[in-house]
Amino acid sequence: MADLEKILEQSLPLVREVGQWIQSMVNQIAIEQIQYKGKNDLVSFVDQTAEVRLKEGLAAIFSEAGFIAEESASDFSEVGDGYYWVIDPLDGTTNFLHQLPIYAVSVGLIYQKQPVLGMIYEPNRDELFYAVQGAGAHMNGLPIQVSSQPTLEKSLLATGFPYHDFSYQDKYLTLLKELMQKSHGLRRMGAAAIDLAYTACGRFEGFFEANLKPWDVAAGKIIIEEAGGKVTNFTGGPDVVFTGQIIGAGAIFEEFLGTLQMHWEN
């Protein structure tokens, strides 16, 4: 087994450095420099350059790991049981390009297709969330834990709206209607990594979203789990990195999952 704590210690400065470079590039992108990978799926040279810098730095730290990265990955079918860095160089690109200060760098390390290390850096608040399997979760050196609020009724929830695949829109809206009535409210931040980090430190009681990619969730999953929470797919199974579905929460998890399952086809 790799020395995960040593890998984390060496990787944290890199993630922070790349995040701060991203922050320095706000207002530096012209409209003609924005590209479209698909409907409402934006990218810029900032995402691409950040990914290159992360891959180069992480390869130097832990060369045994392969890569699954947003701007260069196209097929996950060949992913084996070894180590892989799972990278979203800029989660919340649309927010970034619209100068909305909600975006993050997200880097996870998976082994046997499960996250064992995660780092999420939000440069606007200079908050670096991280966790290693078995060592707890932290933010800027301080331990964090999920919310102990036991009821959905008194919880603040986070989600992500469909933005390019609208096939599940109707059942999603039905679920949102019930959650609006059963909770303190819902927030749509526009960056799954931040939703997961904020759930890990108790700002949100829970988060769910569908149609996600491995780089959206790999880091956040291990951070929530090490903060004392639970993370599954919508069927309650442990596989979230490659299924596209995630629900994570603290003490409300069972009630939250049960409410979701009433409105979602398993």
**How are beta strands 137-139 and 127-132 bridged, if at all?**
antiparallel
Backbone angles phi, psi at 173, to 5 degrees: -65, -35
DSSP secondary structure letters along 59-119: HHH-TT-EEEETTT----TT--SSEEEEEEEEETHHHHHTT-S--EEEEEEEETTEEEEEE
Q: How many helices (H) and strands (E) does the chain have?
A: 7, 14
Cα-flanking dihedrals φ and ψ of residue 226, to 5°?
-75, -15
Residue 70 counted as an annotated binding residue = yes
Q: What angle (nearest 5°) sits at the alpha carbon of residue 254, between those of residues 134 and 240?
A: 55
Which residues neighbour 93 within 8 Å (Cβ) at sequence distance 6 or greater?
Answer: 42, 43, 44, 47, 103
99/70 Cα distance (integer angstroms): 21
56 is in an annotated binding site: no
Whether the CB-CB separation of 86 and 216 falls below 8 Å is answered with no
Ligand-binding annotation for 88, yes or no, is: yes
The pairing of strands 66-69 and 83-91 is: parallel
Annotated binding site for Mg(2+): 70, 88, 90-91, 216
Annotated binding site: 70, 88, 90-91, 216
